[in-house]
A and B are shown apart, each in its own frame.
Chain A
Amino acid sequence: MEQARLSARQLFMLAILFEHGSAMVIPLGVDARQDVWIAILCGMVFGGMLFLVYYRLFTYYPAVPLTSYSQQIVGPFFGKGIALIYVLYFLYIAARVLRDFGELLLTFAYPETPLFILNAVMMITVMYATYKGIEVLARTGELFFFSLYLTAFLGLALVMMAGLIDVHRLQPVLEEGWKRVFKVVFTQTLYVPFGEMVVFTMLFPYIHQPEKAKIVGCLSMFLSGINLAVMMATNIAVLGADTVSRSTFPLLNTIQEIRVANFLERLDVLFMIALVVGGFFKISLFFYAGVIGTADLFRVKEHQRLVYPLGLSVLLLSIAIASNFSEHIKEGLNIVTVYMHVPLQIVLPLLLLIVAAIRHRSSRFFFTKQEKSKRG
């Protein structure tokens, strides 16, 4: 842990940027077709419940990150194992998001540039930010928060002005019933982006006013959920469910449809801003959590010393995890969800919470007994 303090507002903005991150540009939960906005909102509700689990753990151990309190909860041996798994998970997801980012840029803007170069340029930036520490990252977040929101509002306003929205495309609502929606919720939207809030178990100890952590987390998830749902609904209302479900980047296609007054068109740069800003914060936060977790686990005093080796590993990993885009997406949806998101976002935190709760209760019980006997 570095010596740093974040205000509640900074954490809130970081969380918003993090949640929007890549979720904004990828076809998030499109298997639900026109009901994808419902799927996102449901994902938000269940994701909120998960967040409360993470928050409860934080209230038990307000001063240390997940990698430390896992050792306090289940003992040094298992605790270190769990911490190691989480560190690897964070780094792996950082590599995945980096790959996402590179692939997206490559597909639509830089078809002739090697993936490695784009990923390397992004990773150098991320490594620099991580080197400078969380406070710097948070301040950058404050800056970009507004630019991202401005872009989003501009984009939405232009889509509306161009008269592209046809709400009928969102019908029929719940065509296949709730089954399809919940299938998407529990295989996709719950974990990405909402379950990924598990990263913040590593950042909560930095918050200046711990009592605000709960409201910050809930509010940021609520706001991101609403924003993402509105955005996907807009995509569908503009393009139709079929096009969205076949598209690699629905948001890009929506923006390309904009034509206002014969000169406001080809606004792909809006998409580009959203992609780069969102991608940067998502990768940075995962990477930072990974670095700080490693430092905490192996008792490295300065986390800066880990930035270069780990950054290089993440960069190489991002290239090595898949040989093509389809494979990358398939892995993300099938393998990562089942073997990583479910155990690490839901099962392990719940188990930790149960054990922690029992420990706290028994210790409190123990203390009160002692006090009584003293008085007696």
Chain B
Amino acid sequence: MTLVHMMLLSGCWSKKELTDLAFVIAVGVDKKDGKYVLTLQVVNPGNVAGATQRGGGSSGLPVTLYTSTGDTLVEASRKASKKISRLTYYAHTNLVVIGEELARDGITEIFDAIERNPQFRTTASVIVARGRTAEELLSVLTPIDKIPANQIIKTLEMTEKVWGENLNVHAGEVIESLSLAGKEVVMSGFRLDGNRETGKKTKNVQSIDPYARLRAEALAVFKKGKLVSWMGGEEARGVLWILNKIHQTALNIGWKEKKEAVSYKVVRSKTEVTAKMSKGNPVISVVIEAEGDVGETLAPIDLTNPTQIATLEKKIRNEIQKEVQKAIRHAQREKSDIFGFGEIIHRTYPKEWKQMQRVWDEQYFPHLPISIKVDAFVRRTGLRNKPYFQ
């Protein structure tokens, strides 16, 4: 009995010491000459942990980049072992970057490996490297958040939360969109500004204004798994309004002759999308409710006057409506149902959807009548009511 216990309890079958693992924090996928190019951003543990105790500037880099090619992603990942002395470990991978070229080529198949592998989490964020390969985007050192992948994810999360033109999309959501007939993929793009070569070196983070920077860019609109266009600015925010992803943002509204005179800070918002049938044709209605404060005025407005507030609210409504319409027009032009309207019809009218499903993208969605109703409320005006200028 003791012998049996000694054998069973003493060790682990396939144990891996911490020093034998290479923690992959971000994965980049590109396609070159018909083969997948896998870029792995691997954490350099010695240079991340305890760096602050040693006085901030440690000698080495926080991450190292490895690339490897293969006909499948698994092949490429295994082949990377030729270069990495440790076992690649994907349980901490939080970011998947897709090169623009591959995105235009089609991303449908690449998620299978991610979904199938028990190590990999489907909560990893997915982005597109705008105008670049994933490898280029991942080879930039960043200040503040030392690990570039974390910098990207945190930027994405923060900008989605306070500005609302970017969307933090998880791999699981991408897979869901790819599998549904009535929903197309939409995700954020990231751009690399500045000098790429210097971006690779420590010099980049030693400068107060880094030579190369990463920046959240427009939304990548996909159709049948292929990138078809980019959607930026107000259009992008329109998408987030419809998807009910706006947490906070700021809108500018004109006042009298002055354009962009009042800044309205959205504090919370809620969007409900419903489908109806009218004469056998689907109709979508979008109802948006937004609540917020006045953040800034560049024109003399008497905000103590409720009628002024009411006028303001009306203008805000029109502004939001305009953004949403822009987004819808863009998507309808590209015939890409990124809002998942088809799925909503599927849920409400399963029988009718059966006939629509096949021709949804071509026949129904581009001409889909959509009614938009916006309710915006100005609740408070901050610490002042009237501005100091008249």
Contact = CB atoms under 8 A, between A and B. Distances in A.
Interface stretch (A51-59, A103-111, A138-146, A301-309): A103-111
A151 interface: no
A176 B91 CA distance: 39
Nearest to A257: B123
A256 B14 contact: no
A111 B180 CA distance: 31
Contacts of B175: 243
Given A112-B14, A243-B172, A172 B122 contact: no
Contact of B118 (A111, A113, A265): A111
A107 B119 CA distance: 11
Interface stretch (B21-29, B78-86, B345-353): B345-353
B118 A107 contact: yes
A108 B350 CA distance: 35
A211 interface: no
A113 B8 CA distance: 13
- The residue in B91, B118, B349 that gathers the most chain A C-beta atoms within 10 A of its C-beta is B118
Contact of B14 (A108, A113, A242, A265): A113
A113 B122 contact: no
A239 B347 contact: no
Contact of B347 (A107, A109, A113, A171): A171
Contact of A172 (B14, B123, B346): B346
Interface residues of A, number: 23
Nearest to B349: A172
Of A107, A112, A121, A240, chain B has the most CB atoms within 10 Å of the CB of A240
Contacts of A265: 123
A242 B347 contact: no
Given A109-B118, A239-B172, A259-B123, A171 B13 contact: no
Contacts of B122: 253, 256-257
B176 A108 contact: no
B348 A110 contact: no
Interface in A118-150: 121
Nearest to A242: B179
B121 interface: yes
Contacts of B349: 172
A256 B123 contact: yes
B13 A242 contact: no
Contacts of B14: 110-113
A167 B238 CA distance: 24
A158 to B, nearest CB: 14
B185 to A, nearest CB: 14
A264 interface: no
Interface in B341-390: 344, 346-350
A161 to B, nearest CB: 15
B348 A172 contact: yes
A175 interface: yes
A244 to B, nearest CB: 11
A261 interface: no
A330 interface: no
A113 B13 contact: yes
Contacts of A172: 346-350
Contacts of A243: 172, 175-176, 179
Contact of A108 (B8, B118, B344): B118
Nearest to B340: A168
Given A172-B348, A243-B179, A265-B123, A112 B172 contact: no
A266 interface: yes
A175 B353 CA distance: 10
Interface in B50-73: none
Given A172-B348, A257-B123, A117 B179 contact: no
A240 B176 contact: yes
B390 to A, nearest CB: 46
Interface in A232-257: 239-240, 242-243, 253, 256-257
Contacts of A266: 91, 121
Which of the listed residues A107, A172, A253 has the most CB atoms from chain B within 10 Å of its own CB? A172
A171 B340 CA distance: 14
A111 B118 CA distance: 9
Given A117-B13, A168-B347, A242 B123 contact: no
A256 B170 CA distance: 13
A242 B91 contact: no
A239 B176 CA distance: 8
Nearest to B346: A172
A330 B172 CA distance: 27
The 8 closest A-B pairs by CB, nearest first: A171-B347, A172-B350, A112-B14, A108-B118, A175-B350, A113-B13, A242-B179, A240-B176
Interface of B: 8, 13-14, 91, 118, 121-123, 172, 175-176, 179-180, 344, 346-350
12 contacts: A107-B118, A113-B13, A113-B14, A168-B347, A171-B347, A171-B348, A172-B346, A240-B176, A242-B176, A243-B172, A256-B122, A257-B123
Interface of A: 107-113, 117, 121, 168, 171-172, 175, 239-240, 242-243, 253, 256-257, 259, 265-266
